[in-house]
């Protein structure tokens, strides 16, 4: 027989790591967000943007969101594991999607392929992915305290 203190038997077990989010929880928001971008770029006559926002600013903001969601999904929902490779891959995926979106607009009346829009997509994706990386650094720092 082994002596086991009663206090160790009544203490709840605490997992070392939280459970991993499901693939749907990770990639569902990415796919939904991409579908929203696709739907927006399918509109033939773009109405004026709120607050006089420029088209390039809108592209940048939309793709910043996509870059952030991609970093989250690629890191498995664990911001503390976000590395430079994850950020670069998120940017590449977002820019590739931006390229396909611009190509899609060739088939939408009153829309066209615009390299400046693609550049704004890339800048936005870089900002969003960079924010995801920064969040990971902050999380690692706080976890080490």
Residue 95 CA to residue 73 CA, distance in Å, equals 16
Residue 107, in any domain of the structure = yes
Which domain range does residue 137 map to? 22-41+53-144
pLDDT > 60? residue 134: yes
The pLDDT score that the predictor gives to residue 14 is 55
Residue 110, in any domain of the structure = yes
Tens digit of each residue's pLDDT (9 = 90 or more) over 69-115: 999 999 998 877 788 999 999 999 999 999 999 999 999 999 999 99
Residue 112, in any domain of the structure = yes
Q: Give the Cβ contact number of residue 134 at 10 Å.
A: 13
Q: Where does residue 76 fall: left (phi above 0), alpha (psi -120 to 50 degrees), or beta otherwise?
A: left
Residue 10, in any domain of the structure = no
- Residue whose structure tokens are 């503390």: 80
The pLDDT score that the predictor gives to residue 50 is 86
Residue 132 CA to residue 72 CA, distance in Å, equals 7
The pTM of the full predicted model, rounded to 2 decimals, is 0.83
Residue 66, in any domain of the structure = yes
């Amino acid at each position: 027989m082994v002596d086991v203190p009663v206090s160790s038997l009544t203490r709840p077990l605490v997992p070392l790591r939280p459970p991993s989010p499901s693939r749907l929880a990770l990639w569902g928001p990415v796919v939904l967000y991409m579908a929203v971008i696709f739907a927006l770029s399918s509109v033939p006559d773009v109405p004026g943007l709120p607050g006089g926002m420029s088209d390039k600013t809108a592209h940048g903001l939309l793709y910043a969101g996509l870059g952030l969601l991609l970093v989250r999904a690629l890191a498995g929902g664990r911001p503390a594991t976000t590395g430079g490779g994850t950020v670069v891959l998120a940017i590449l995926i977002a820019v590739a999607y931006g390229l396909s979106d611009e190509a899609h607009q060739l088939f939408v009346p009153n829309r066209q392929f615009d390299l400046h829009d693609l550049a704004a997509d890339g800048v936005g994706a870089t900002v969003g992915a960079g924010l995801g990386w920064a969040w990971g650094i902050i999380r690692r720092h706080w976890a080490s305290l």
